[in-house]
Each structure stands twice: as C-alpha cells, then as structure tokens.
Amino acid sequence: MIPNSRILLAAGPYEFAGTLELTAAPVAVAWLVKQFPLEGTVQHACWSGEAAWLPLNGTPQLAPENATAHPRPGQILLYAGMLSHAELLLPYGACAFSSKAGSLAGNPVIALDGPLEDLRALGSLLVAKGVQPLKLNWLQEQRQ
C-alpha cells in the first residue's frame, strides 16, 4: 500500500506538485514509486506534439490501466509496453501520444496541480536549450 499520494517533480528550473493516480492505475503507480527518487534527463518528445518524455530503463511490461493516447496537460503517463521505449510522458499542450511505431497509450500515473504555465515554459525551454535534469520524489512534508 502507498501511504502518501503527493509528489514533487523538478524539471530544469521548475518544480511541480502533483497527486499519484492511485485509483486510475494502481499497478503502474506502485511500480513508479518503487523507483523514487527517480532521476534522469527529460527531453522534448519527437512524435507526440507538445510533450516531454523521460526514457526509462529496465521497466517491466505493464498492462494498460485506463490507458490514454490523448492526455491533457499535466497528466503524466507511464508507458511500459512493447512497441516503443519505456517512458514517462509529460504533456504540456496538445498531445497525441505516439512513436515511430504508431499510436501509443500510457497509464495515467500523476496529475500535476494547476496552474500549469511553468509546464508550458518547460516545453519551450526543452525546444530552445535541449535536455534538462528531472527528479521525481515525494513532497518534503510527505516523506516518512
């Protein structure tokens, strides 16, 4: 059981609070929190429109749980299927999740809190400057 649902995502110079999607994708969320603190470099998506992605290594295949190919800004998806790289997708605008293999659907694992202006600014930063560091962990007040 996951005792807390609040997370902090830091990407480039921006920080975002959010809530784990415990009801929508419990298996995917359980896998994700076992990776905390999750660190890597986020880059602009090649195929999905206004989104960024964090490649994941060694991710087990996860079955779809309320999977979607059209996430809203701030709805972070975990994809761990067979058609493309395992990844976290961070949409900041119009997004149709896909890869060179075609359309993908990811499990919703985090809903970022609004307003999300800084998320769009992160997208612009990725386009202008390239990859940025990313860290995903519990919110400070949620750590035990």
The residues pairing with 39 across neighbouring beta strands, listed in sequence order, are 135
Instruction: Select 6-138's CATH number: 2.60.120.40, 3.30.1490.190, 3.30.70.20, 2.40.100.20.
Output: 2.40.100.20
Q: Which residues contact 56 (CB under 8 A, 6 or more apart)?
A: 40, 80, 85, 86, 87, 88
pLDDT of residue 49: 97
pLDDT of residue 3: 65
Which segments in the chain show pLDDT lower than 70?
A: 1, 3, 59, 141-144
pLDDT of residue 54: 97
Model confidence, pTM: 0.93
pLDDT of residue 142: 43
Give dist(CA 121, CA 14) in Å, integer: 9
Structure tokens at 73: 């800004």
Domain ranges in the chain are: 6-138
DSSP reduced 3-state for 105: coil
pLDDT of residue 141: 58
pLDDT of residue 144: 43
pLDDT of residue 110: 98
Task: Please check whether residue 49 is in contact with residue 95, taking contact to mean a CB–CB distance below 8 angstroms.
Answer: yes
